[in-house]
Chains A and B, each alone.
Chain A
């Protein structure tokens, strides 16, 4: 029997660099 392991789940946005705020016109 293989016991279930808790696997970390990462949110999609953590993989994307947050580079700059949108400038308002």
Chain B
């Protein structure tokens, strides 16, 4: 097999690297790999501006621009707003009740050491929206 790159791409944020310290809304500090669904829900409840929305994965396909990227189409919130995001295949999303998942979990684990499962159609990811639009 040809050697694969082990560089962390610059567009992959540093806070997904295993061991990164994350501050919850109540001030508690946790490692990124220890975060639970409840941590996000409780933090959003404390937040005055942000709320958690459910984003269901409707489609995953390769990007036309680069093999390192994937296009993930979500159905967001009760209005089922259709949103597509282009991300690196190793970019992790947090799935409700499950944890970190990416299009290519092997690469996520290789690059970030973050325990990760395969993101699949039908998975419900945590996303954020504004609490009130006035």
Chain A residues near B (Cβ < 8 Å) = 7-24
Q: Does B20 contact A (CB under 8 A)?
A: yes
- Chain B facing A: main interface SS: strand
**A19 and B76 form a contact (CB under 8 A):** yes
Q: Bin the interface of chain B by size.
A: 35 or more
Q: Does B126 contact A (CB under 8 A)?
A: yes
Mind listing 18 A-B residue pairs with CB under 8 Å? A8-B21, A9-B23, A10-B15, A12-B22, A12-B43, A15-B16, A16-B52, A16-B126, A16-B128, A17-B55, A17-B127, A19-B53, A19-B74, A19-B83, A20-B76, A22-B77, A22-B129, A24-B133
Given contacts A9-B23, A24-B133, contact A15 B15 (CB under 8 A): yes
